[in-house]
Amino acid sequence: MAPSIQLKTLTGKSIEPFIPDLARLRIEVFREFPYLYEGDMDYEKNYLSTYSQSFESFFVVAFDDHDVVGMSTGLPMSHETDAFKTPFIDRGYDPESIFYFGESVLQKSYRGLGVGVQFFVKREVYAQSLKRFTHTAFCAVERSENHASRPSDYQSLDTFWHKRGYRKHPELQTEYSWKDVGEAEETNKPMIFWLKKLSD
Ligand SMILES: CC(C)(COP(=O)(O)OP(=O)(O)OC[C@H]1O[C@@H](n2cnc3c(N)ncnc32)[C@H](O)[C@@H]1OP(=O)(O)O)[C@@H](O)C(=O)NCCC(=O)NCCS
């Protein structure tokens, strides 16, 4: 990892001061394909309250000196909203046994330096430390291959996630709603989960 980047991990109440940084980074980074999120502070307030309400939420914060340049999040799946839990319950998983990874958002100029790998490592170590989870999971938006906003040089993160030991589970799907860049209204997006079994 680049020597100037420092990672700090925070849990529960201590995440609070970093919620505005997370909102800022989400709005900046998720404007890119495939998220295409037209950032909205009210939306962020509502979405991020799930993390504030969980006493076991976990943030990894990447600093370049005093600047927050990236963040990665997680919390027990049982503390998540029904939209995330229901596909698991329907397929016979117990949400109590799953630790859910929220977003990883890193400013462009800091990518390719190993920070994203560390985001996974630190979240998995934390999930293991709670000693009650069998799996870690996250979800990613599905966009059509011929989506008008797909950059010609777009590289999906699928290979990166495979290398971290995650497998795509198309049977575990949910929908999440946000406003795409340039859209007047929020629309539902299909989200597919990826899972990894934690070692015993
Ligand atoms: C996802 C994200 C955080 C990954 O961050 P990152 O720091 O670029 O990832 P890393 O550098 O750790 O790893 C990426 C790859 O680059 C490689 N890499 C590491 N150091 C490198 C270097 N100095 N030069 C080139 N590549 C390098 C890593 O080995 C890894 O490749 P691998 O999968 O073959 O091992 C970042 O791409 C991002 O913010 N994307 C936009 C938001 C997003 O889509 N988030 C995920 C869904 S929430």
In tens digits, what is the pLDDT along the chain, a chain of 200 residues?
Answer: 667 899 999 999 999 999 999 999 999 999 999 999 999 999 999 999 999 999 999 999 999 999 999 999 999 999 999 999 999 999 999 999 999 999 999 999 999 999 999 999 999 999 999 999 999 999 999 999 999 999 999 999 999 999 999 999 999 999 999 999 999 999 999 999 999 999 87
Cα–Cα distance measured from residue 190 to residue 174, given in angstroms and rounded to the nearest whole number: 6
By the 8 A CB rule, do 80 and 50 touch?
A: yes
Ligand 1: centre distance to CA 90 (Å): 32
Ligand 1: centre distance to CA 188 (Å): 27
By the 8 A CB rule, do 62 and 70 touch?
A: yes
By the 8 A CB rule, do 85 and 96 touch?
A: no
Where is 191: in which H helix or E strand? Answer: strand 187-197
Which candidate, 80, 86, 133, places its Cα nearest to that of 102?
Answer: 80
List all residues 6 or more positions away from 73 whose beta carbon is below 8 Å from its beta carbon.
22, 51, 57, 58, 59, 60, 101, 102, 103, 104
Per domain, the residue ranges of the chain are 5-197
Q: What is the pLDDT of residue 199?
A: 85
Ligand 1: centre distance to CA 130 (Å): 26
pTM of the model: 0.94
Residue with CA at minimum distance from ligand 1 atom 5: 116
Cα–Cα distance measured from residue 26 to residue 184, given in angstroms and rounded to the nearest whole number: 20
Q: What is the pLDDT of residue 2?
A: 67
Domain 5-197 falls in which CATH fold?
A: Aminopeptidase (3.40.630)
